[in-house]
Amino acid sequence: MNHISRLLAVLLLPALLLLPRIDAIFSATMPRKALVETFLLLLCGAAASRLYPHRRMASHAPAAVVAATLLLLFWMIPRSIDLTQILPSANALYVASLFAAGFLLSHYLPLLPKVASVAYALYFWSMIVAFGLLYASQSTLLCSAYTLEDQHAFGWMLVLLGLVAYLFVLASMTRWLVPASKSR
Amino acid sequence: MICLFVLGVGGSLLSAWTLGFSAFTSYSYALIKAGPLPRPAPDISFVDQFGDERDLASLRGRHVLLHVFYGSCVTICPIVIEELRELYSGFSAAQRSKIVILSISVDSLRDTTERLLDLWRQVGAFDGWVMAQPSGASFDRVTKEFGIWVFAKTDGTINHSADLFLIDRGGRTVRVFSPQANNDRIRRDLESYL
Phi-psi region of B86 (alpha: psi -120 to 50; beta: other; left: phi over 0): alpha
pLDDT tens sequence across B14-72: 999 999 999 999 999 999 999 999 999 998 899 999 999 999 999 989 999 999 999 99
Which residues are CB-neighbours of A99 under 8 A, at least 6 positions away? Answer: A14, A41, A42, A44, A45, A48
Please, which residues 73-92 of chain B have a Cβ atom closer than 8 Å to chain A? 75-76
Query: What is the number of alpha carbons within 13 Å of residue B142 lying toward its C-beta?
Result: 21
Q: A23: buried, middle or exposed (CB in 10 Å: 19+, 13-18, 0-12)?
A: buried
Which residues are CB-neighbours of A184 under 8 A, at least 6 positions away? Answer: none
Q: How is chain B split into domains, by residue range?
A: 23-193
- Contact A77/B18, CB-based, under 8 Å? yes
Confidence tier at B149 by pLDDT (50, 70, 90) = very high
Q: What is the DSSP code (8-state) at residue B41? A: P
In whole angstroms, give the CA distance from residue A178 to residue A123: 21
Instruction: State how beta strands B150-152 and B63-69 pair.
Output: unpaired
The pLDDT value given to residue A56: 66
Question: Which residue out of A144, A146, A152 would a mutagenesis test of the B interface target, given it has the greatest number of B Cβ atoms within 10 Å?
Answer: A144
What's the structural domain count of chain A? Answer: 1
Task: Inform me whether the C-beta atom of residue A21 falls under 8 Å from chain B C-beta atoms.
Answer: no
DSSP E strands in B23-171: the ranges are 39-40, 45-47, 53-55, 63-69, 99-105, 129-134, 150-152, 158-160, 164-167
Is there a cis peptide before residue A78, judged by omega within 30 degrees of 0?
A: no
Task: Name the residue among B18, B84, B107 with its Cα closest to residue A142.
Answer: B18
The pLDDT value given to residue A181: 59
Spans of chain A, pLDDT less than 50: none
Distances (CA, A) of A71 to A16, A63, A80: 21, 12, 11
Query: Chains A, B: CB contacts under 8 A, how many?
Result: 65
Confidence tier at B191 by pLDDT (50, 70, 90) = confident
Q: Which domain holds residue A146?
A: 3-182
CATH placement of domain B23-193: 3.40.30.10
Confidence tier at B81 by pLDDT (50, 70, 90) = very high
What's the ipTM? 0.83
Element (H, E) at A31: helix A30-31
Please, which residues 54-113 of chain A have a Cβ atom closer than 8 Å to chain B? 60, 62-63, 66-67, 70, 73-74, 77-80, 82, 85-86
- Contact B149/A144, CB-based, under 8 Å? yes
From chain A, pick out residues whose CB is under 8 angstroms from the CB of B3.
Answer: 62-63, 66
Sign of CA dihedral A11, A12, A16, A17: negative
Task: Inform me whether the C-beta atom of residue B25 falls under 8 Å from chain A C-beta atoms.
Answer: yes
Which amino acid, one-letter code, is at A123? Y
